[in-house]
Amino acid sequence: MRMIGDRSDETCLNPPTGEPLRRRRIRVASVGATVAAITVAGSLMLTSQQESFAATISAAVVPARVGSDNPPATSPASMPADMPGMDMSGSSPTPVPTVSMPADMPGMDMSGSSTVAVANPPLAPVLGAFGGATAMVLLTAGMIRRRDLAADVIKKAACISGRAAK
């Protein structure tokens, strides 16, 4: 399973044994199409799931303030005392913001976010950007690889024909 780039011992007498270019082209296109399809399908699926999830928790969640870096916290009363994994004895210190310090200061949530419940930010654009960028990278790399292989084939063909002419 030698890497494509490691072709130091290939010579004119060892013509490339790789798959035909057409098949490679089909493979590259299918990879790109698959990634794009998965991205679109995943985005749609997650968007619908988020909507349903947001609907279920909306009653318990205070709407996020515009421009706030920190997610809003649920009131302790809305939280069941026996939340799974919750150490209610609480050895962790709970910081109380001073008057001079805004309560929504990012990073000030030293209570370990255990009381935080917010709806997920929209995932569709994130996954769309990720999938789109990934598909572009894969297609570009595939095209470069195809071009390299084609150049390799031409070079070797020229080499073989040169030998034959001699």
Chain contacts with another protein (rule: CB under 8 A): 1-6, 8-9, 27-28, 31, 46, 49-50, 69-71, 82-87, 89, 91-93, 95-96, 98, 100-102, 105-121, 123, 126-127, 130, 133-134, 137-142, 144-145, 148
How far is it, in rounded angstroms, from Cα 166 to Cα 158? Answer: 12
How far is it, in rounded angstroms, from Cα 73 to Cα 76? Answer: 9
35: tokens are: 């990634």
Q: Are 46 and 124 in contact (CB under 8 A)?
A: yes
Give the shortest CB-154-to-another protein separation in angstroms: 17
Residue 133 or 157 having the CB closest to another protein? 133
| Bridge partner residues of 109 (DSSP) | none
Number of neighbouring beta carbons within 10 Å of residue 38: 14
Residue 101 or 154 having the CB closest to another protein? 101
65: tokens are: 């303030």
Residue 146 or 156 having the CB closest to another protein? 146
Give the shortest CB-148-to-another protein separation in angstroms: 7
Give the shortest CB-59-to-another protein separation in angstroms: 15
